[in-house]
Amino acid sequence: MTGNSCIVLSDDYKGYELEYFCVPRHYEDSLECVLIPSGLIQDRIERLARDVAADLGREPFAALCVLKGGYKFLADLLEKIKQCYRFSSENSVPFSVDFIRLQSYKDDHSTGDVKVLGVDGLSFLQNKNVLVVEDIIDTGKTMKVLLEILEKQKPKSVKVASLFVKRTSSSSGLRPDYVGFEIPDRFIVGYALDYNEYFPCESCLCHQ
């Protein structure tokens, strides 16, 4: 498993001009560019799904989605994982899905004060392979809190899949097991990553 390998967007990466894509007009004045088109995101998720399926083999697993932004990545990732199993075997691999919410952002800034919601009743993860699905990891401090909580449940294994990892000087050094894209320290929206509930777009967009 290549794990930490991913597509890296350089600091001077400019993305694509908005005029080349179908961006809702009422969002245009708030956006800088299309950072990653939807098609590229889907292709990258397909490869991540193949890596996850190869690592898990035929073992059941529990997918733990970090809300709110992770739900779309979770849905697309699990669908592509199921496709991998269908192509490689007649038998499907059972998995469960649950959700957790971690809160550390206010507007577009991380407050550093992590609030963990919905963690009661995670004892069912004991002795299970757990796949944590996150939309974006910024400093990594929030994810570290979650991993500490999960460790107390005595799972068989824990892997983290994050579609985006932000390159920032305040990073805790945490690196997910599966990474879609490493991006510069810019605030992004789209693909279920919102700004105060706005920008539900399919592509990854750079917010001004």
Tens digit of each residue's pLDDT (9 = 90 or more) over 118-165: 767 788 999 999 999 999 998 888 898 889 989 999 999 999 999 999
Domain ranges for the chain: 7-207
Tens digit of each residue's pLDDT (9 = 90 or more) over 65-110: 998 788 899 999 999 999 998 877 666 789 999 998 877 655 555 5
**Under CATH, which architecture does the 7-207 domain have?**
3-Layer(aba) Sandwich (3.40)
For residue 76, which of 94, 100, 52 has the smallest C-alpha distance? 52
Is position 51 annotated as part of the catalytic site?
no
**Could you tell me the pTM of the whole model?**
0.85
Catalytic: which of 51, 76, 135, 138? 138
